[in-house]
Structure 1
Amino acid sequence: MVDAVVGVFLDKLINALASERRKVIEFRDEFENMKSQLYLLQSFLKDAEKSKRKDHIVRALVDGLRELIHDAEDILADCQLQASKQKQTSDKWLVYVSPLELAFRMKTGNRLRDINRKIASIKDDMRTYLTSTLVTSTNSEEANGNVERWSSSFFDMTQIVGLEDDANKIKRWLFQARDGLTAIGIVGMGGLGKTTAAQKIFNDRQVEDHFEKRVWVSVSQKFKEEDIMRIILKNLGDASIGTDRGELLRKIHQYLSGKSYLIVFDDVWSVDNGWWSRLSDGLPKGNGSSVIITTRNRQVATKMGVVDQRIHQPKVLTMEEGWSLFCKIAFAGSGGRHIDTRLETIGREIVEKCDGLPLAIKAVGGIMVCKSSISEWRRIADNFNEELSKNTDLVMVSLQLSYDELPSYLKPCFLCFSIFPEDCVMLKDQLIRWWIGEGFVPSKNGKLAVDTGEDCFLGLMNRCLVEVVDMSYNGRVYTCKIHDMVRDLVMQMAKEEAFCVLKDGCCRRLSLTSYIEENNINKVDLRLRALVSTASMNEVNKISPDVFEMLSKSRNLRVLDISESIMEAHDKDLLSDVGSIPHLACLTLRNVHPLTQVPPSIKKLGNLRILDLSFCHNLKRLPSCITILENLIVLDMSCCGSLQCMPRGLGKLSNLQVLLGFKPSSPSCQDGCCLAELRSLSMLKTLELRITQAEEIADDELNALQDLEGLQHLIINCFNSYGPDLVEKLNRLSLPRRLHELSLKFFPGDRSPAWLNPMSLAELDYLSISNGNLSQMHPSFWGAERFTWGLQGLMLESLAELEVEWEKVHQAMPSLRMLCVRWCPNLETFPLDDVGFKGGMWRKEE
């Protein structure tokens, strides 16, 4: 991954030199020399990455270069920090000749010269062992630093081929169940599609209607019995966090008693400690209730009560089924256009080598989705054949090839998954914000960082390295996970690349789970770059003073994420020194309890780009100093119910791209931020307004959002609103005409606002209306003969009073492709199997 490390550093160095900050310019000669050396080295790095697995000398060179680049990156960050301090000092001459400044210049100059000497030596040694191909910019994905924008905004990773007969067989077993607890096993080797088959059945509409309760449990190799019970309860709507197994099991029995239920236990490795026996004894029996077990071991299924007649072993795909799956992935963005016969010949050759294993086909197909030339396809096919001649593990070979073919900027993004525990469900936004904080996301071409981060995630997803867990009606991904065999690869590569743990045992990136082990705290030094919470849905972190003492040793920390945590001391004491981490770029305090205030020392974090305080329910105010953090691009205050207002001066944060949970100031909050201040946020892409009373919007602010031309997604949330004047005030708002997506939550009126019409919002693609008292749409909503909606997707949720006819909706929205309706019992004419309390989805047939 050294090519990625070099690429990230060069990107930062070029931007720093272009900024012409005095402290960087002082060392321009050394930095320019370093830049030139690294550009020349890049021509060797592709070969070095391939050779290092078999050549120990090349590996040592690559490892040494990686550490040098990290050191150079820290020096560059220190120079930028010094420049910022000097900028804020009035008497710059005295600063320039101060002993501290002179010592800094001497030390920094010596360090840079030493690094340059070592880089030159490594370059000469690499020239000895490798032949430079000088093709650093020939890859179409990386030419000029471009990040590819996929032509397909979302690709369904659970594309299922050849499973219809298997699914129907298992459904018959489920529907025939009567007494007792019917156990069904799906057994087979890794990569055969066991989980995919179980997902298809679990999400089948007939299965959903047949069972009153459905629960999905990922078991994995390492688990605790009480964790499984808590996951079951979580699926049943109970957020119990206790550890008493008897009490947890009693609750499960209570919730499921008298009901028909289906529980899927996915990826079970062992029942040796008796956990299944204890759990199954406590599950209620009868009513056609069933369990499905997916496992690689037939004996495990048998021990869990599966009889031979109800064990299903997925078969490998036929050649045509494999080719169909490959095409759905490799040509996902082709729009069904004719496939070049030369590509088909190579593609079929690859599919034949995959021996019908779905995961292998997906992995190699994911490589091809962004390759267009015949030569690239032939090169990858030849590499695949060569690797298969040396390694018989077909799935791991295909996954390794998929990693090797990743663009350099995606490799560190992918390796971030190594820090999460097995079967962990991850928040997409948490990942992207981490990537931005560490500088993994390229910053070229004038694109917003949040957009480029989304592209990086999409790049991994479309290569079948990341699986979607939860997504919105319009394809926006909320949560994700990785296949266990993909995790095997990412763990192996992270170890080889010293991504998390260095060769001397010290930590570069550390996960924050329940308790950080003491030996990990002792291995933290200046090289720590990221501390990231990996708490699952059933866990909370417990933050002790030792953790914050550890952070005081980590002045090069870029990402601090202590979300889902309970602090064992007062937040004022623990967070008071957060300002002593000078290079911090991402600070995530999501759902930290009991966070009541943000420490004033945050004003020292001049490099902070992301501040996430979402779900901090006890937080009432933000310090006014937050308005001086001019590099902020994401400020997330969503679901902070106690927040009274935002501080005045927020409009000075001109780089903001995402602002969530913005609560305008009411007259009683004199030092709060009013809606009018948002006019200056020209880079804002996503905005969530939380409005509870009419006084929060002054009459001269009704058009405050109108000129935000870059705004694409607007959320208006009126949860817990009051006062009869609010509806009238909301009806007079003016929205940006180029809005791409609009979400109305808890709208207090019984009729939609007049501005919600196809004339005012001509470029709107997605509309979501949820909760509230809405019973009818304003006449303007239906447009006119010359004006119809261009909507692609519509979601209506929890609107018990709404009554509209589908024919009228369809006529007003001729371009509608996706419709999602939940908890809207009066929408009986909509084209869904069930539009009542269960809800349903409709997609236009292509």
Structure 2
Amino acid sequence: MAVVDAMLQVLTQQVFTILKEQASFPLDFKDQFELMKTKLDLTKALLADTENLNEKKKVVTANLIQLRDLIYEADNIMTDCLVRDEYEKEGSCTSLTFKKPLFWYQTGKKLKDVNSKLDAMERSLGIHLKYQEQSDHGGKTTQVTKYTVQDYVPSEVIGLEEDLEKLKGWISDTKDKLLRVGIFGMGGLGKTTIAQKLFNDQHVAARYDKMIWVSVSQVSSDRRIMRSMLEQLESHCSVSDEAQMLHKLNELLKGKTCLIVMDDVWKINRGWWNQFFSGLDGAVGKGSCIIITTRKEDVLTSMGVGRSQFHTPKVLTNNDSWLLFSKSAFSSCPDAQFEKVGKEILEKCGGLPLAIKAIASLLASKSYSIVHWNEINKNFHESTADANFTPVMMSLKLSYDELPIHLKQCLLCFSAYPEDSEIQAEQLIHWWVGEGLVQGKGSKTAKELGYCYLSELVTRCLVEAVHRREYDGRVYCCKVHDLVRELIIRIAEEESFGKFDEHGRQEMTGDSRWLGFTSEMNPEIFRKSSKLRALLITSADDHVVFDRHIGSLGSLRVLDFSLTKLAKISTEKLMEWISSLKRLAYLNLSGVVGLKELPKSFRKLRNLQFLVFAGCNELVKIDHITSLRKLVVLDLGSCLLYLPSGIEKLSHLQELSGFNVASNSRSPTGFKFCDLEKLVHLRVLRMSIGKDSEITEKEREVLLKLKKLKVLSIDAQDCEDNNISTMLNIVLPPPSLRELYLRRYHRDTLPKWINPEKLSNLQYICIENADIIDFQTSPKSVDGSVFRWNIEGLRFKVLRNLKLDWKNLEKDMPLLRYADVSDCLNLQNFPRPINNLAIWRRRVD
């Protein structure tokens, strides 16, 4: 129940905010909020106890599902109160004054009802936990994991030969006293198999005096790890004190070359590991090696493994997959029809050795029945529920179980996307934040933290990065492996977030919380979908149909049309229906291509935080968004010529995209460049400047006042007007700037402020389609010292006039480690051919 725990945290914070800030609420409300906060704190403690149960008993599962429903009900009440408060702050509730007592009465009644149900839930969970505790201590022996030498049955290793040769090379060529090697990747990829093969290789073994294998697994006790090692070095060891055990280990290994394998490490006690490695470094002989296998990349980093000694096994090729499959599934040369079906099944295994072995083992027992093979091929997802598949699914389940709560809830969201979907990271993260699954922490905004969460899921090999920014690894597009999705939809169904058919396709029920809507679905399903919180249109065609029932989705927080083109729909009716979704937090209208104007009713969406119009090229009027004071992200793409006056009132705005700088004379009532200075929380600004734009001398410090601005993108709209360079030279950027993008700038020289003195914190620069001849070298200060760039990554694209010596650039950018260069034919001494695209990375020794 990952999302239950996460929503508890969100709801507790909302209650705290209301108690702290909503002084206008009646006293009776405050009493109920105080009571709710107390009950939520207790429920969080009880929920933490249920996480420790070995098995979720039926009563716990049922209670947790009911608890989640209660939390969502309470979240709706909180949201309604906050939306109401937004109206009152603006003074736009005068027409509703006569309804105010009714609203407070109904809200108070709902709060009391939720608190009463929470009280009953606490009693039920408490009684069950007490019973469970008695059962756990009623004479049953507690099972303790034993750490022993890995039992290894020699077998032919298929498709891992290159991996083995690479790691053998590292081992044989090392000059380190204690080489640390890391093998990481998702479960079933062959990490342990590779380590086993190395451990049992006679040529490898001949190099070492001592060989130790420790199966660490999830229950990693420092004492147990040391005990396992000591038992392999000395048959009778009576030492029990941890300090003495560590001393004994160092004594037994002193001066000896050794190979130690730490298999399946999940988490570490960093203090203990540092002490352990420090002792080993001082004891073992030169040329010793420790190999760590893990599903988590950060484990290797924490254990001091250098990135040059990271190794991730690749999935098997088609040929190697078939070879492995054949050896397990067939006792002799297969019949043609078995081979055909076998290869179709094999495609679904994605090259994962563990998945291939598991499916082949099941098919081997049915080797004389092509009917059974066809059934398994047809019902692959259903077949994986069979006990024969526990090695595959359990390896993935263990990866899921080990995730922290905030990552579990994020991973489950992938269940709403069809199989093999390539998912835009920004869409996914907007969903996470809009529904409250991710919240800002410290100096990081919720969106920035969302990117961190996605990167962590990629690092743990549960999500695959399809496209990412090379210099810092930011994920732009991602997907999940079929087997991972199978696990996700299984858990999502167990926890009543959705229902899926035997082919893994989502089916709508009255209890569904998330839905990926396709053209095959009937919009009538929305009539009984009042609990739905996230709706994503996942069909890429324009045949998706909607009707008035979309307005009945009262609990909806997320609505995304970005993956479709609604060219045949009445946008007026659609917008009226959307306007009734008062709890909506994220709205992406990019696929509503015929949208021209937002209706006045759009002002009702007072809870809206993310609003995306990119792709709405017919849009001309959005005046009513100025009432949406909670907006955090506003993305207009390139659809609007000028922004309306009043955008400066959106004081919480952190990201503004599609801002065309207006002329004071041509658009006297619109949003001007000078109005930007009121958006003090802005972190990302994407703006266009053209021949009709105007930036005056009085506005030179506007950007300088945006102290939190990190990303600035400027599009000069292919304009060659001299005023462009004049205006941009006036601008003074904030020193906080981390990323700068300049596109279609047709002047010989860059704006004067693009230099390392003004942009001392700049880490990434991208210049595309420009006529610049030179790039700013490092200027000298008054005392003669030279300013150097702190840039780590850059992109130069279609800079045909640029005359620059790469060696000089490297001197000016000592921290540069990544460069993407294309169509810069006058660049000198670039270390790669640059006829088309060249990628350069600094060599790390």
Relative to the length of structure 1, the TM-score reads 0.68
User: Distance between the aligned counterparts of 2:41 and 2:718, measured in 1?
Assistant: 57
For 1:809-820, what aligned pairs fall within 5 Å after superposition?
809-820=809-820
Structure 1 residues 485 and 722: CA distance shift in structure 2, 3 A: same
Aligned partner of 2:702 in structure 1 is: 704
Helix, strand or coil for the counterpart of 2:705?
Answer: coil
Partner of 1:756: 754
Which of 513, 534, 539 in structure 1 is aligned with 2:538?
534
Partners of 1:811 and 1:692 in 2: how far apart? 35
* Other-structure match for 1:585: 585
Q: Distance in 2 between matches of 1:370 and 1:6?
A: 31
1:114 aligns with 113
1:659 deviates by: 0.9
Q: Partner of 2:67 in structure 1? A: 65
1:521 counterpart residue number: 525
> Who is 1:574 aligned against?
574
Q: 1:500 to 1:828 in 2, by over 3 A?
A: farther
Matches within 5 A, 1:598-677: 598-619=598-619, 621-638=620-637, 640=638, 642-666=639-663, 667-677=665-675
Aligned to 2:404: 407
Matched residues, number? 632
> What displacement does 1:190 show?
8.7
Specify the alignment match of 1:451 in structure 2. 448
CA gap of 1:362–1:744, structure 2 versus 1, over 3 A, is farther
Amino acid in the other structure paired with 2:80:
D
- Quick check: 420-429 or 525-534, which moved more? 525-534
Which residue of structure 1 aligns with residue 774 of structure 2? 776
Q: Larger Cα Rg: Structure 1 or Structure 2?
A: 2
Pairing 1:363–2:362 present: no
**How many angstroms apart in 1 are the aligned matches of 2:165 and 2:592?**
46
Partners of 1:797 and 1:836 lie apart in 2 by 12
What secondary structure sits across from 1:22 in the alignment? coil
1:836 aligned counterpart, secondary structure:
coil
Structure 1 residues 516 and 87: CA distance shift in structure 2, 3 A: farther
CA distance in 1, matches of 2:508, 2:576: 31
Q: CA deviation at 1:91?
A: 8.6
Q: Distance in 2 between matches of 1:554 and 1:87?
A: 26
CA contact (8 A) 1:824 1:839 kept: no
1:468 aligns with 2:470: no
| Structure 1 residues 512 and 25, CA gap change in structure 2 (3 angstroms) | farther
Kindly indicate whether residue 722 of structure 2 is the aligned counterpart of residue 724 of structure 1: yes
1:713: which partner in 2? 711
**Is the Cα–Cα contact under 8 Å of residues 24 and 80 in structure 1 kept in the other structure?**
no
Alignment of 1:796 onto 2:796: yes
**Which residue in 1 is equivalent to 2:551?**
552
Work out which of the residue numbers 27, 40, 44 in structure 1 matches 2:46.
44
Corresponding residue for residue 4 of structure 1: 6
Alpha carbons of structure 1 residues 723 and 498: separation in structure 2 relative to 1, 3 Å = same
One-letter amino acid matched to 1:689? M
SS in 2 for 1:130: helix
Measure how far apart 1:715 and its partner are: 0.8
- 2:616 is paired with a residue whose SS is coil
**Cα distance 1:342–1:442, how it changes in 2: closer, same or farther (>3 A)?**
farther
Going from structure 1 to structure 2, the CA distance change for 1:392 and 1:343 (only over 3 Å counts) comes to: farther
Provide the rounded CA distance (Å) in 2 between the counterparts of 1:58 and 1:343. 46
Residue aligned with 1:531, SS? strand
Report the equivalent of 1:81.
83
The 8 Å contact of residues 566 and 593 in structure 1, kept in 2 or not, is answered as yes
Rounded Cα–Cα distance in structure 2 between residues aligned with 1:132 and 1:687? 57
Q: Distance in 2 between matches of 1:781 and 1:395?
A: 59
Amino acid at match of 2:618: N
Contact 1:675 1:697 in 2 (8 A): yes
Contact 2:451 2:475 (C-alpha < 8 Å) held by counterparts? no
Q: Any idea what the Cα deviations from partners look like across 1:516-572, whole Å, max 9, x if unmatched?
A: 51177256432111111334xxx23544342xx122111221111111332222323
Question: For 1:586 and 1:343, how far apart are their aligned partners in 2?
Answer: 51
Any conservation in 2 of the 1:369–1:463 contact (CA below 8 Å)?
A: no
| Residues 330, 799 of structure 1: alpha-carbon distance in 2 compared, 3 angstrom cutoff | farther
Deviations 1:211-256 (A, max 9, x none): xxxxxxxxxxxxxxxxxxxxxxxxxxxxxxxxxxxxxxxxxxxxxx
Query: What is aligned with 2:237?
Result: none
Q: Is the 8 A contact 2:523 2:545 kept in 1?
A: no
Amino acid at match of 1:130: L
How far apart in 1 are the matches of 2:27 and 2:478?
A: 43
Note the C-alpha offset of 1:391: 9.0
Q: What is the one-letter code of the residue matched to 1:809?
A: L
Partner AA of 2:602 in structure 1:
I
Structure 1, gaps ≥5 residues long:
135-159, 169-188, 198-318, 346-355, 373-389
Question: For residues 448 and 161 of structure 1, do their structure 2 counterparts lie closer, same or farther at Cα, with a shift above 3 Å needed?
Answer: farther
* Deviations 1:695-741 (CA, angstroms, capped at 9, x unpaired): 33233223321121111111111233352321232233211122111
- Corresponding residue for residue 234 of structure 1: none
* % identity of equivalent residues: 32
Distance 1:562 1:90 in 2: 30
Residue 246 (structure 1) aligns with: none
CA distance, structure 1, for counterparts of residue 590 and residue 278 of structure 2: 47
On the 8 A contact 1:11/1:443 being kept in 2, the answer is no
Q: 1:726 to 1:815 in 2, by over 3 A?
A: same
Return closer, same or farther for 1:24/1:395 CA change in 2, 3 Å cut-off.
farther
Q: 1:799 to 1:564 in 2, by over 3 A?
A: same
Whole-Å separation in 2 of the counterparts to 1:780 and 1:694: 33
Aligned-partner Cα distance in 2 for 1:669–1:719: 19
Q: Tell me what 1:223 maps to.
A: none
Residue type at the aligned position of 2:751: P
Q: 2:313 aligns to what?
A: none
Q: CA deviation at 1:613?
A: 1.0
Give, in whole Å, the separation in 1 of the partners of 2:838 and 2:769: 14
CA distance in structure 1 between the aligned counterparts of 2:735 and 2:439, rounded to whole angstroms:
30
Contact 2:588/2:613 (CA < 8 Å) preserved in 1?
A: yes
Give the letter aligned to residue 534 of structure 1.
T
Name 2:733's counterpart in structure 1: 735
Give the whole-Å Cα distance in 2 for the aligned partners of 1:693 and 1:686. Answer: 24
Q: Check 1:645–1:167 CA distance in 2 against 1; reply closer, same or farther (3 A cut).
A: farther
CA contact (8 A) 1:766 1:793 kept: yes
Shift in CA distance, 28/69, structure 1 to aligned 2, threshold 3 Å = same
- Segments of 5+ residues of structure 2 without an aligned counterpart are 134-158, 168-185, 195-257, 281-290, 305-386, 501-506
Distance 1:712 1:844, change over 3 A: farther
Superposition RMSD on alpha carbons, in Å?
3.8
Instruction: Please list, as runs of the form range in 1=range in 2, the aligned pairs for 1:243-254 lying within 5 A after superposition.
Output: none
Partner residue of 2:683?
685
Match of 1:139 in 2: none
Secondary structure of residue in 1 paired with 2:809: helix
